[in-house]
Amino acid sequence: DDVDRAYFAVFDGHGGVDAADYSATHLHVNVGLHEEIVKNPAEALKCSFQKTDEMFLFKAKREKLRSGTTGVSALIVGNKLHIAWLGDSQVMLVQQGKAVTLMEPHKPERE
C-alpha cells in the first residue's frame, strides 16, 4: 500500500545470545506477516512477540538452549508510533527537547 512504515528493535540477551539473535531474526518477519499489520499494528506487535517467544521456546527445548532476552520494538505507521516491549528494556522518546513517558518499566515490585 502507500503507507510509510518503519520498524526498529533492540534485544538484550540474558544468559547468552541465542534468544536475542533468534528474536532479531524472526520478530520483524512475524510482525510483517501478521494479518492485523495494516488494520491494527499494535495487535500485530503483541501477537508477534508472543509467537516469536513460543517459536524460540520450542527451539530452546529441542536444542537445550538456556538463554532469554528482553526486547523493545518501535513500529512507525504513517504518523503513528507503536511501541512494544518485553522485560526490563525501556523506550525513551524526546520531543522538542523534553522526555515523554511512553511506558512504565517492568520492575520486580510491580504487580
Quick check: is 105 in a domain? no
- 10 Å CB burial of residue 95 (0-12, 13-18, 19+) is exposed
Tell me which residue range forms the domain holding 16. Answer: 5-100
Count of domains forming the chain: 1
Q: What is the DSSP string of 36-55?
A: TTTT-HHHHHHHHHHHHHHH
Coil, strand or helix at 18: helix
> φ and ψ at 102, to 5 degrees?
-105, -20
Structure confidence at residue 105 as a pLDDT band (50, 70, 90): confident
Distances 14 to 9, 23, 73 between C-alpha atoms, Å = 16, 13, 17
Taking the model in full, what pTM does it have? 0.86
Are the C-beta atoms of 19 and 69 separated by less than 8 Å?
yes
- pLDDT in the model for residue 37: 94
- pLDDT in the model for residue 79: 93
Quick check: is 49 in a domain? yes
Q: Output the domain CATH number for residue 29.
A: 3.60.40.10
Quick check: is 44 in a domain? yes
